DNA sequence: CGCTTGAAGTAGTCATAGACAACAATGTAG
DNA sequence: CTACATTGTTGTCTATGACTACTTCAAGCG
């Protein structure tokens, strides 16, 4: 994700003295304690605050006006960056896919060279994401259904490319049969996402989660190995 | 696609012989041309109309006031039956679990005596529900997370008891290993729900769905059979 | 150096939603 | 027949998302 870090704070030694009184205790002043007309990176601030709110209270409870209040801008300001509420949610989902993809990638890269170890690490990373950001994951999947947004689709595809590469390795190692990688990948993806769905849906006690992940991966491997 | 099977007796204790009238705005008279003060079974009418709206536009777009308008009652009337919007959604989810459970049960009962045939029929029924009522299924899972509503939990458990019974048979037939049924069931449940999540999330083309279901069931069976 | 221009933010307004309270109509128990 | 509990109606309050017009401000240009 590219973040335009345009921060005029360092080049604003003489800010205009606008004595707008803000009763709320939010940090709506810059480093000099002066209110600034232009926020500088409202878009980023909105996304960050929105991610916090979604994590704590879910996407349904996300309000553009409350977001603006928390950040300390007027209720119309977010509109300059997101034409409507859904656009903000889509951007949030897209950032979520980027982060998920990065975490999956990191899990693979940090798990050595062996296929099974990598697979387990990847699954664990996915489930970790699902437990820590259940509402965000739900949002990511919900956003996909509604509008087939091309950019969102691409973001998702990039995030899940890690799985496909893993499958390739598994086949090269002889651990997986020779169906097309995306066919095997779909089964793996469904398995992992299913566990995530049980987690986000609260339909499984968290202390049974590790066992479920281990069982599912083991069964996936047993079910996918070449028929000798 | 399957027919929208409507079973009016799912969740309603009030049997009223009154024919359901067209909910057109302005048509606030019954068959005799008489305006009626009491609707007669508003609760059922609300749930039915809500299910239609959810199916067409998703739970997010469901509005109590619009519901009331469609049915032809005042905007405050729904409050007598559902204290707030969430209560209506919870009731909808509960009815959804009841219907899902019934459809799973019917699938099992109509698939002969063999374990594998029953398993495939059950999975197919679940996926059918997921494709036809994607938004409702999402609502059912979302509702679970938010409040651990006891009645909702029970409704879900009843719906999925079919799976557990199936596992029992599979073990008795020697098709499944001897782990505890709920441990195997969790894996199966996750697998099926994962496919459903891909469907409701629009992350799979529907013409690849049958293949995915077949692959997943086959791999589940291969991965769960006793180690000879 | 001042002017123009356009991006970013502010303020006001509108329609609609959910929640709530007071009141009215209706069915029912006694 | 009357008292009471249900169920529905009407009005109101607050909040939200979406829209418009105006303001601030930085950067480019003549």
pLDDT, one tens digit per residue, over A76-112 is 999 999 999 999 999 999 999 999 999 999 999 999 9
Lowest mean pLDDT among A1-10, A35-44, A107-116, A186-195: A1-10
d(C-alpha A171, C-alpha A123), whole Å: 18
Distance CA(B203)–CA(A145), nearest Å, equals 8
Written in H, E and C, the secondary structure of chain B is CCCCCCCCCCCCCCCCCCCCCCCCCCCCECCCCCECCCCCCHHHHHHHHHHHHHHHHCHHHCCHHHHHHHHCCCCCHHHHCCCCHHHHHHHHHHHHHHHHHHHHHHHHHCCCCCHHHHHHHHHHHHHHHHHHCHHHHHHHHHHHHHHCCHHHHHHHHHHHHHHHHHHHHHHHCCCCCCCCHHHHHHHHHHHHHHHHHHHHCCCCCHHHHHHHHHHHHHHHHHHHCCCC
Indicate the pLDDT class of residue A22, thresholds 50, 70 and 90: very low
**pLDDT(A117) > 80:** yes
pTM (2 d.p.):
0.84
Q: How far apart are CA B192 and CA B206, in angstroms?
A: 15
Select the residue of A183, A190, A204 nearest B198 (Cβ to Cβ): A190
Confidence band, pLDDT 50/70/90 cuts, at residue A35: low
Residue A29, SS3 per DSSP: strand
Interface residue A202 vs chain B (CB under 8 A): yes
pLDDT value at residue A145: 63
Residue with tokens 């239609």: B52
Q: Which one, of B131, B136, B181, lies nearest residue B160 by Cα? A: B181
10 Å Cβ neighbour count for A79? 13
B147 interfacial to chain A (CB closer than 8 Å): no
Residues contacting strand D at CB < 7 A?
A 8, 11-12, 15-16, 18, 37-38, 62-66, 75-76, 79, 83-86; B 37-40, 42, 68, 73-77, 79-81
Nearest residue in A to B190, CA atom: A194
Mean pLDDT for B154-175 is 95
Q: What is the mean pLDDT of chain B?
A: 85
Least confidently predicted of A15-24, A208-217, B185-194: A15-24
DSSP calls for A8-20: GGGG-SS------
Report d(CA A53, CA A137) in Å as an integer.
14
Q: How far is CA B138 from CA A218, B97, B130, B144, B207, in A?
A: 28, 11, 9, 10, 21
Structure tokens belonging to residue A37 = 């007309």
- The answer to which of A145-149, A201-205, B103-107, B114-118 has the lowest mean pLDDT is A145-149
Query: Is A100 within 8 Å of A133 (Cβ atoms)?
Result: no
Nearest CB to B193: which of A142, A194, A220?
A194
CB A60: neighbour CB atoms within 10 A? 15
Residue with tokens 């019954």: B30
Contact B200 A60 (CB under 8 A): no
The tens digit of pLDDT for each residue in B28-73 reads 444 444 467 677 899 999 999 999 999 999 999 999 999 999 999 9
Question: To probe the interface with B, which of A63, A126, A163, A219 has the most B CB atoms within 10 Å?
Answer: A219
Distance CA A96, CA A51 (A): 9
> For residue B156, how many other CB atoms are within 10 A of its CB?
24
Q: B147 pLDDT exceeds 70?
A: no
Q: What is the pLDDT of residue B17?
A: 34
pLDDT at A7 over 70: no
Cβ atoms within 10 A of the Cβ of B187, count? 25
Nearest to B139 by CA among B85, B68, B186: B85
Is residue B177 within 8 Å of B184, Cβ to Cβ?
A: yes
| Nearest nucleotide, CA B66 to C1' | C17
Q: Helix, strand or coil for residue A35?
A: strand
pLDDT higher than 50, residue B21? no
- As a whole-number percent, the residues of chain B with pLDDT over 90 amount to 71
Q: Tell me what percent of the residues of chain A surpass a pLDDT of 70.
A: 81
Position A21 confidence tier, pLDDT thresholds 50, 70, 90: very low
Query: In which band, very low, low, confident or very high, does the pLDDT at A147 lie, cut at 50, 70 and 90?
Result: low
Over 70: is that where the pLDDT of A9 sits?
no
In whole angstroms, what is the distance from residue B1 CA to residue A156 CA?
28
The Cα A170–Cα A181 span in angstroms is 10
**pLDDT band, very low/low/confident/very high, at A228 (cuts 50, 70, 90):** low
């Amino acid at each position: 994700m590219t973040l335009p870090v345009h921060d005029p704070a360092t080049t604003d030694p003489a800010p205009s003295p606008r004595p707008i009184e803000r009763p709320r205790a939010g940090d709506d002043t810059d480093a000099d304690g002066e209110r600034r007309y232009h926020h500088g990176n409202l878009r980023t601030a909105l996304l960050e605050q929105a991610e916090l709110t979604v994590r704590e209270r879910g996407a349904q409870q996300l309000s553009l006006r409350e977001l603006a209040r928390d950040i300390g801008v007027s209720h119309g300001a977010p509109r300059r960056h997101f034409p409507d509420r859904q656009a903000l949610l889509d951007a949030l989902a897209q950032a979520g896919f980027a982060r998920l993809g990065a975490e999956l990638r990191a899990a693979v890269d940090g798990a050595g060279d062996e296929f099974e170890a990598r697979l387990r690490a990847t699954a664990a990373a996915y489930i970790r994401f699902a437990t820590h950001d259940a509402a965000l994951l739900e949002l990511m999947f919900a956003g996909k259904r509604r509008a087939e947004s091309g950019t969102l689709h691409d973001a998702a595809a990039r995030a899940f490319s890690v799985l496909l590469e893993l499958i390739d390795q598994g086949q090269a190692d002889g651990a997986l049969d020779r169906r097309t990688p995306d066919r095997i990948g779909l089964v793996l993806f469904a398995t992992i996402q299913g566990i995530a769905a049980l987690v986000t849906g609260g339909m499984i006690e968290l202390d049974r989660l590790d066992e479920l992940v281990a069982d599912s991966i083991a069964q996936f491997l047993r079910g996918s190995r070449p028929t000798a």
